[in-house]
Amino acid sequence: MKLMRKIVLGLGVVIAIIALTIVLFFRQEAYQLYKVVTFFDAGAISENFRGVKNIFPTTTVPKPEQSQPFPMSSQPYSLIENFQVHDSAVVTKAFLDQTLTDALIIIQHDTILYEYYGNGFSASDHHIAWSMSKSVISALFGIAIAEGKIKSIEQTVTDYLPDFAGTGYDKVRIKDVLQMSSGVGFNEDYGDFNSDINIMGRYFALGMPMADFSKKLRREREPGTYNHYVSIDTQVLGMILTKATGKSITDYMKEKLWSQIGAESEAYWIKDKSGMEFALGGLNATARDYAKMGQLFLDTGKWQGRQVVPREWVLASITPDAPHVMPGKRDNAVLADGYGFQWWIPEGSKGEFDAQGIYDQFIYVDPHKDMVIVKLSSNYHYKKDRKRVFHDLEIALFRKIVEQAKP
């Protein structure tokens, strides 16, 4: 019995030492993993979306020396009281509350008509973009092509990232990656704890390089034939961008984009242990600066008369050019929305396009009415919405706002 007690006591000491070692040397990783697992809990989601910088390592895109704020309209503006979806009336205020709207900005003719903040947010607060980050990566990619840093989107991933030979991205055209048609297999179901996207989140929480995770993915379909949203596609684009320009995404964005549009505030990117930005969804900025990205693409890449993103790139980014990326229900796509170069084209589009992020983040652009709408949310109901009801309601809301606007 004494021997058994000694063995049990010895094991207890070893376990305690291991636990203490984990706490001392992996405290940050353990905290990040905990935050990732509980990130979208109802009671914490808004604060988490606002306080990403307090959870993960980040890299900062500084505020430009000269900011160029949107002017505020001097005319009163009344938000629509309700809108129709499938013959049902939806009360706007109730919908904004239900989706836990953190910010809503309506801009027309380069002027803010309406601005609202909820859940403790203000105009100066940063909010994680999630997949709206992808549309910013697209803008930077277009600039790099114009500068000759990237020769052509007809080149392949492995032309720039030879270490991806033998992976799902081996010899895949850059264009197919831009159009979410890489053919790489990936489960993006946020409601499935064991989906690829959620495993990736826990992987990232531990600070492990996203390049390593990206190389684990394998080919599922012929590239360029099927529109399947794979977030890692954008991470690969970010790696190509970094390799081709010789600069981090942060530094390239500071020089080529943030300073050019007179951003009102700094931005920051979540980064992994290798220093690589979380290109697929790690951008954090204010609602007004997200609106600037919408305005930039509304004006086909120009900011106050100066071409920042090539016009041809902007038009290609918002113009589906093959059957599998055209808007509408189709056999060669998972979703009904169309897709350009990291920008969405809603089903039934009459020229509008948008950037989207999980939990209801939107930069919605309607060129015909010269309007940009930004909606940031902490909609924790999102992961249970398998039928994309919230998405359809958001688009209906934006369309009604545009419809009611003056020409």
Catalytic residue ranges: 131
Residue 284 contacts residue 278 (beta carbons within 8 Å): no
Q: How far is CA 330 from the centre of its chain?
A: 24
Residue 383 contacts residue 190 (beta carbons within 8 Å): yes
Residue 330 contacts residue 282 (beta carbons within 8 Å): no
Can you tell me which residue has the tokens 């990040």?
A: 32
Phi/psi of residue 106, nearest 5 degrees = -120, 125
Distance CA 158, CA 133 (A): 23
Tokens standing for 407? 């020409």
Phi/psi of residue 46, nearest 5 degrees = -65, -45
Terminal C-alpha separation, the chain: 89
3-class DSSP state of 78? coil
Distance CA 24, CA 31 (A): 12
Tokens standing for 305? 């008369």
User: CA torsion sign, 255 to 260 to 266 to 269?
Assistant: negative
Distance CA 34, CA 203 (A): 12
User: In the 8-state DSSP scheme, what is residue 279?
Assistant: T
Count of C-beta atoms within a 10 Å radius of residue 216: 13
Residue 113 contacts residue 106 (beta carbons within 8 Å): yes
3-class DSSP state of 281? coil
Torsion of CA 96, 384, 51, 255, to 10 degrees: -90
**Cβ-count burial of 172 within 10 angstroms (0-12 exposed, 13-18 middle, 19+ buried)?**
buried
Count of C-beta atoms within a 10 Å radius of residue 318: 26
